[in-house]
């Protein structure tokens, strides 16, 4: 039985090795991360240009010098600040939850498994006995589950002695699936988890972010892999993932890149919408790219290829532990007010440029409209789209 399993795994690895998706990951993703570091080092020698944070007159995000932002601890003594983190049961989510619990935040852990949520609480409490934690079981790929979470969270606030508001929302949940799966709403599961779920959750929680006595922040965790996308469509069929189901081979690498690109476009369009509504001084939207981190994201990739990738990345000194990779996320979460549009990468509060395509304002607006139309016929419905 053991031999049969080994043979099956080797055959699966060989089949994946011969696929376009493997070489897309091996070549384009490697180039993308190297280009990100090139920007980082180039900026240490000369100042580059990127998007303006907050200019209400034009709501532009696209032309200011790259800067490094200091971290700011919660500046309130009248209430305990609250941070909501999705995908909080492992890897970067767990690391971010621990770091922010040390900063005095009440951390709301969001994950799919109740058992893993309980284990996460134990792990954090073992390292920080004063941590204030609350866990909610949520499937980000299910819009119904996201809507129920919003209701449960509001009730939790009412039952607690906390101020009914959120100070930080970190959209960290993400998967890399190697085979097609469909969400209850009929979306591709990878796009549903990585982008559509984050879109719906953010819009549903905006009233709680807006009601914060101090400025609040949304941090969308993206990936350098978005750079590999050179052409993109944002019609409903593509955003839902329906178009990818017609492919002979499931384009897992391309879909992952696409979902991360969508998350950046959403971030910029959300900031523009906040500007138009005069709320950009209250809610800030930033993007964090942790780089290459050793998490369980690659668990569906054949084991021998995952091991090979880890070995090569370690030799190139590109692979980080979650404890190091989380720096860009915490930098974004604790950045001072007025940092909307910043793309955090490399730790120490540093920022770089995302891809040119991700800064296309027209594309961002079209993506927003397509996603809103998709969600209008789900439990998200009029409640979320009324904002």
pLDDT in tens, 15-29: 888 899 999 999 999
214, burial (CB in 10 Å: exposed 0-12, middle 13-18, buried 19+): middle
Q: Which tokens is 93 given?
A: 């989510």
In a domain, 133, yes or no: yes
Helix segments in 184-302, DSSP class H: 189-191, 197-210, 236-239, 252-276
Residue 302 lies in a domain: yes
**Domain hosting residue 299, numbered range:** 68-378
Distance of alpha carbon 5 from alpha carbon 34, whole angstroms: 36
Percentage of the chain beyond pLDDT 70 is: 91
Within a domain: 32: no
Classify strands 283-289 and 49-50 as parallel, antiparallel or unpaired. Answer: unpaired
* Mean pLDDT, residues 123-128 taken together: 97
111 or 279, which is more confident? 111
Does residue 213 register a pLDDT over 70? yes
Q: What is the pLDDT of residues 201-212, one digit of tens each?
A: 999 999 999 999
> For the chain, what is the total number of helices (H) and then of strands (E)?
15, 9
Of residues 52 and 3, more confidently modeled:
3
Question: Is 237 a domain residue?
Answer: yes
For every residue of 50-62, DSSP letters joined together read E--S--TTTT--S
DSSP code for 336? P
Share of the chain above pLDDT 90, in %: 73
pLDDT of 185 over the 50 cut: yes
- Which H/E stretch holds residue 99? helix 91-102
Residue 13, pLDDT score:
82
The answer to the question of residue 97 being in a domain is yes
213, 76 contact by CB (below 8 A): yes
Residue 266 belongs to a domain with what CATH number? Answer: 3.40.50.720
Question: What confidence tier does 73 reach under pLDDT thresholds 50, 70, 90?
Answer: confident
Give residue 51's pLDDT band: very low, low, confident or very high (50, 70, 90).
very low
Mean pLDDT, residues 99-120 = 97
C-alpha 279/C-alpha 94 separation (Å) is 30
Residue 25, domain member (yes or no): no
State the average pLDDT over residues 106-114. Answer: 97
> Average model confidence (pLDDT) for the chain?
90
pLDDT at 385: 58
Distance set, CA 120 to CA 89, 90, 105, 242, 371 (Å): 6, 8, 16, 35, 32
Helix (H, G, I), strand (E, B) or coil at 174: coil
Average pLDDT (92-102) is 97
pLDDT of res. 203: 97
Q: Mean pLDDT across the stretch 243-258? A: 93
Number of domains in the chain: 1
Average pLDDT rounded to a whole number, residues 353-376: 96
pLDDT for the residue numbered 54: 36
**Residue 60: what pLDDT?**
47
Q: Residue 48: what pLDDT?
A: 43
- Domain presence at residue 142: yes
Mean pLDDT of 263-270: 97
The confidence score (pLDDT) of residue 47 equals 52
Any domain includes 160: yes
Distance between first and last Cα of the chain: 56
pLDDT above 50: residue 50:
no
pLDDT at 62: 41
């Amino acid at each position: 039985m053991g031999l049969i399993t080994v043979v099956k795994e080797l055959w699966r690895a060989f089949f994946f090795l011969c696929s376009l998706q493997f070489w897309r990951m091996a070549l384009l993703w490697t180039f993308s991360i190297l280009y990100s570091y090139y920007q980082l080092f180039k900026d240490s020698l000369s100042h580059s240009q990127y998007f303006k944070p907050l200019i209400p007159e034009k709501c532009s995000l696209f032309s200011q010098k790259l800067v490094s932002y200091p971290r700011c601890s919660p500046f309130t003594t009248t209430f305990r600040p609250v941070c909501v983190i999705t995908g909080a049961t492992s890897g970067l989510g767990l690391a971010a939850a621990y770091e922010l619990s040390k900063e005095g935040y009440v951390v709301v852990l969001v994950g799919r498994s109740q058992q893993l949520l309980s284990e996460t609480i134990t792990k954090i409490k073992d390292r920080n006995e004063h941590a204030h934690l609350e866990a909610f079981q949520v499937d980000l790929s299910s819009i119904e589950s996201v809507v129920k979470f919003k209701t449960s969270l509001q009730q939790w606030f009412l039952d607690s002695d906390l101020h009914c508001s959120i100070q930080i929302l970190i959209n960290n949940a993400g998967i890399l699936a190697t085979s097609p799966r469909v969400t209850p709403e009929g979306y591709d599961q990878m796009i549903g988890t990585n982008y559509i779920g984050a879109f719906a959750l953010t819009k549903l929680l905006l009233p709680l972010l807006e009601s914060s006595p101090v400025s609040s922040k949304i941090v969308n965790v993206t990936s350098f892999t978005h750079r590999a996308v050179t052409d993109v469509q944002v019609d409903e069929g593509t955003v839902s993932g329906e178009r990818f189901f017609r492919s002979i081979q499931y384009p897992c690498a391309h879909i992952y890149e696409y979902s991360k690109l969508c998350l950046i476009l959403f971030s910029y369009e959300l900031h523009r919408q906040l500007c138009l509504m005069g709320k950009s001084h209250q809610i800030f939207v930033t993007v964090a790219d942790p780089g290459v981190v050793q998490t369980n994201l690659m668990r569906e990739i054949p084991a021998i290829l995952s091991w090979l990738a880890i070995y090569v990345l370690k030799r190139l000194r590109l692979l980080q532990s979650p404890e190091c990779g989380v720096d860009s996320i915490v930098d974004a979460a604790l950045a001072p007010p007025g940092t909307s549009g910043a793309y955090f990468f490399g730790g120490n509060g540093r920022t770089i440029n995302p891809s040119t395509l991700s800064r296309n304002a027209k594309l961002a607006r079209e993506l927003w409209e397509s996603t809103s139309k998709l969600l209008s016929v789900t439990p998200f419905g009029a409640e979320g789209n009324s904002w």
